[in-house]
Amino acid sequence: MATPTYSNQPGDIAVQTVDLVRRFGERAAVDNLNLSIERGEIFGFLGPNGSGKSTTIKMLCGLLSPTSGSATVCGMDVATDPELIRSRIGYMPQKFSLYEDLTVQENLDFYAHLYGVNGAEGKRRKQEVIDLVGIGPYQRYLGRQLSGGWKQRLALCCALVHEPEIIFLDEPTAAMDPVARRELWDLLFSLASSGVTLFVTTHYMDEAERCSSVGYIYNSRLIVSGGPDELKQAREVVGQGQVRYELMCRPLVASFNKLKQLQYVNDVTIFGQALHVVGDNALTADLLRTQCAEAGIDARDIRKIEPSLEDVFVALTKAHEAQSTLPDVRPPETVLTKTWDVIQPVLRPIIQKFSATTAASPEEAPPNG
């Protein structure tokens, strides 16, 4: 196996895509994706279901070939060196994809063997990942006997056994309870601190807040990427001269309805016991307070707040929804519709001719008939 050329300096690019496109039929699942992820980062890839997150990961792991554009992983092109890339990355699919009828140990042995991690080195490495993940007590359990959290840990074990430089995790915490979720993230942090690059897709905003950089994909397009703090300053979120306040009101719902009527107030949302008000720049805290007093709202603890990532993504999604319409999707074809498409041009003139003659016949009929 040829030694790939890559340097291990900090600030290296681990994953880069240039105008990456993947189409399924006419529909683009990923459209002109441009990403750049630095080595050692935890990159959070966010977006609603079906927005193209998994497709992107599969392309980067060499499981799907791009329709156009290019992607480099560990400095190698996914189109030309998929095998070399695979030996240096780890992949954890969305669904548990290890053998349910093999034990934890057997699954790990199998994957270690496939990655060429053998002998004393293999033994050491396997013990290392078992200790790291803490799956030791479950070694003799069958895959199917594990709970969701432990299944994911086993998958992580198998994805880590060959000391990959990058790990791709497709919604690793989707089916996990909060405790298991927290523990997995602690694991991911410790991995990142040891220099591994993590590419994680998720739905959870609190997870996104923990990433060192975030990309948001919507409708197959990357809308924004950057550090979570950078995103909160994005033009779509704050650039339009918007301010955010949090206030405590009682009664909550009545105040919520009254607040919406106030001047300069654009949006009000309920956050637990508090209300978040989004308004124009002209809305100062004092103005809000006097307005509340005039409207008879019992508002306390008014303070200016930063937008959360959720606010960012909601604002971005709304901005893009306004721009783009749903792609025009044809109903699925069947043999019958296809046949109809073929015979239609032949049949139509005949039908027209027929209907023309029947329509014309009463006129041609003699008046006394």
Binding site for other proteins (CB under 8 A): 61-63, 65, 82-84, 86-87, 89, 91, 93, 95-102, 106, 110-111, 113-116, 118, 155, 158
Give every CB contact of residue 346 below 8 A, 6+ residues apart in sequence: none
- On whether the CB atoms of residues 166 and 62 are closer than 8 A, the answer is no
- Give the pair of three-digit tokens for residue 143: 């895959």
Number of neighbouring beta carbons within 10 Å of residue 251: 9
* Residue among 61 and 223 whose Cβ is closer to other proteins: 61
Min dist. Cβ of residue 131 to other proteins (A)? 22
Residue 93 or 279 with smaller CB distance to other proteins:
93
The label of the residue with tokens 């790939």 reads: 4
C-beta of 172 vs 307, nearer to other proteins: 172
Least distance CB 154 / other proteins (angstroms): 11
Which CB atom, from 65 or from 261, has the smaller least distance to other proteins? Answer: 65
Is 215 within 8 Å of 228 (Cβ atoms)?
Answer: no
Q: Which of 166, 229, 133, 208 is nearest to 40 (CA)?
A: 166
CB nearer to other proteins: pick between 84 and 312: 84
Tell me how far, at minimum, the Cβ of 70 lies from other proteins, in Å: 15
| Residue 30: CB minimum distance to other proteins, A | 17
Q: Which is nearer to other proteins, 82 or 226 (CB)?
A: 82
Q: Among residues 87, 90, 74, which one has the least CA distance to residue 132?
A: 90
- Can you read off the two tokens belonging to residue 197? 């690059």
Tokens coding 5:
């050329």
Shortest spacing between CB 333 and other proteins, in angstroms: 18
Instruction: Give 37 or 155: the residue with its C-beta nearer to other proteins.
Output: 155
SS3 content of the chain, % helix, strand, coil (to 5): 40, 25, 35
In this structure, what DSSP letter does residue 333 have?
A: P
Say how far apart CA 246 and CA 270 lie, in whole Å. 10
The CB-of-142 to other proteins minimum distance in angstroms stands at 8
Tell me whether residue 100 or residue 131 sits nearer to other proteins (CB atom). Answer: 100
Question: What DSSP designation does 338 have?
Answer: H
Minimum CB distance to other proteins, residue 91 (Å): 4
Q: Output the CA–CA distances (angstroms, integers) from residue 80 to 33, 36, 37, 92, in the order listed.
A: 19, 19, 20, 22
Q: Report the residue number, 48 or 82, with the smaller CB distance to other proteins.
A: 82
Shortest distance, CB of residue 61 to other proteins, whole angstroms? 5
Shortest distance (Å) from residue 181 CB to other proteins: 22
Q: How far is the CB of 314 from other proteins (least distance, A)?
A: 32
Task: Encode burial over 51-83: b for 16+ CB neighbours within 10 A, e otherwise.
Answer: bbbbbbbbbbbbebebeebebbbbbbebeebee
Q: Which residues contact 326 (CB under 8 A, 6 or more apart)?
A: none
User: Smaller CB distance to other proteins: residue 102 or 205?
Assistant: 102
Virtual torsion, Cα 220, 225, 230, 233, nearest 10 deg: -30
Cis upstream peptide for 331 (omega within 30°): no
CA separation (Å) from 347 to 261, 342, 352? Answer: 61, 9, 9
